[in-house]
Amino acid sequence: MADTTVARGKRGKWNATHLPDLTGRTAVVTGANSGIGFAAARALAGAGAHVVFAVRDLARGGAAAARVSGSTEVRRLDLADLDSVREFAAGWDRPLDLLVNNAGVMMLPEQRTQQGFEMQFGTNHLGHFALTNLLLPRVTGRVVTVASSAHRWGDEAIRFEDVNLRGNYHPTRAYAQSKLANLLFTLELQRRLTEAGSAVRALAAHPGWAATNLQSHGANPVARMAMQVGNRFLAQDDTAGALPTLYAATQDLPGAAYVGPDGIAEMRGAPTLVGRSAAASDPAAARRLWTLSEELTGVQWPLTATVR
């Protein structure tokens, strides 16, 4: 799916008009019914891809897909329920060029997934971990996981002894941990793909500050109000917020690359390669998280080659 010819040229900074022709390609976008997921799905379909809206609410997903010009379908996926993840993967029976792990929840009051995991870690990381590994034998191109600059917040470490934060829950800490997990997952996934001799690439992206409904469910009402003000005056729209995802999905980038906006504090701007924290670059933590995630989800590395 890589396009090695288009970068930033005479047409200015990279945007969705620079997408290569994706006719004949298939993409799954989780959480495609709204926000940057919808914007990414719309752009991919506009470039010719067949886009599967993997969503929890089929009615909302269908309404979103109906607003898109191009080839789409809608399938149910609840990342907070591993049974739903397994059902989605079991129903997939064809090659998959692109998996976009986009769906997520942010700074919620303390809640649990269907299997009892802390909701943000369980949805943002464990659900996508299970989905990716279950679909991986069918993936032919890329896995792009949407992370966040919030991975730098809080402890900047996975609480391996208590990833569910029982008795120590804070909405911001939980969100930061889930986004750090996204980056460590991408790092270890790429290592495993390389050792297995796979041509599939794993990359991560973050949207900067994009005005979406993700921020509207936070536990703190003051923080929600501040987010609303920021969305109005500081944020870029969801179309711009989707550009790092699209760039990671289609441009000739190395495995484990991380893409974000090129503006001040990576809040807005055109997509470019960005840095990550030392904690998000720790291969030992990435391996430890992978092992823990296999134990928690019951989903194992699917490729036949041995990975040390």
Is the overall model pTM greater than 0.85, yes or no? yes
Residues across the chain:
308
Tens of pLDDT along the chain (308 residues)?
655 433 443 347 999 999 999 999 999 999 999 999 999 999 999 999 999 999 999 999 999 999 999 999 999 999 999 999 999 999 999 999 999 999 999 999 999 999 999 999 999 999 999 999 999 999 999 999 999 999 998 667 899 999 999 988 999 999 999 999 999 999 999 999 999 999 999 999 999 987 555 544 445 564 545 445 444 445 588 999 999 999 999 999 999 999 999 988 888 899 999 999 999 999 999 999 999 999 999 999 999 755 55
**pLDDT computed for residue 295 by the predictor:** 98
Distances (CA, A) of 185 to 112, 154, 158, 200, 258: 21, 19, 12, 15, 12
Q: CA-to-CA distance for 82 and 84, rounded, in angstroms?
A: 5
The DSSP 8-state label assigned to residue 18 in this structure reads: G
Domain ranges of the chain: 16-297
What integer pLDDT is reported at residue 49 of this predicted model?
A: 98
Q: At what angle do helices 171-195 and 128-135 cross, to 10 degrees?
A: 20
The answer to whether the CB of 158 falls within 8 A of the CB of 134 is: no
Q: Secondary structure of the chain: what % helix, strand, coil (to 5)?
A: 45, 15, 40
CATH architecture of 16-297: 3-Layer(aba) Sandwich (3.40)
Q: 169, 175, 247, 258: which one is catalytic? A: 175
As a whole number of angstroms, the distance between CA 16 and CA 32 comes to: 17
Q: Is 247 a catalytic residue?
A: no
- Integer angstrom CA distances of residue 6 from 18, 92, 191, 200, 247: 7, 32, 27, 21, 10
> Which of 71, 90, 108 is CA-nearest to residue 217?
108
pLDDT given for residue 220 in this prediction: 56
Which residues on adjacent β-strands are paired with residue 259?
205, 273
Task: Tell me the β-bridge partners of 12.
Answer: 9
Please choose, from the candidates 201, 112, 186, 196, the residue with its C-alpha nearest in 3D space to the C-alpha of residue 147.
186
Please give the pLDDT value at position 149: 92
First to last CA, the chain: 28
Q: Comparing C-alpha atoms, which of 209, 161, 213, 153 is closest to residue 183?
A: 153
Q: Give the span between the Cα atoms of 8 and 13, in whole angstroms.
A: 5
Sheet holding 50-55, edge to edge: 72-76, 50-55, 26-30, 96-101, 139-146, 201-205, 258-261, 271-273
How far is it, in rounded angstroms, from Cα 127 to Cα 101? 9
Q: Which residues fall within 8 angstroms of residue 164, CB to CB, at 6 or more apart?
A: 112, 116, 117, 118, 121
Bridge partners (DSSP) listed for residue 251: 3
3 Rama sector, left if φ>0, alpha if ψ -120 to 50, beta otherwise: beta
**Pairing of the two strands 258-261 and 271-273:** antiparallel
What are the tokens at 70?
């191009």
| 230-252 as b/e: b if 16+ CB within 10 A | ebeeebbebbbbbbbbbbbbbbe
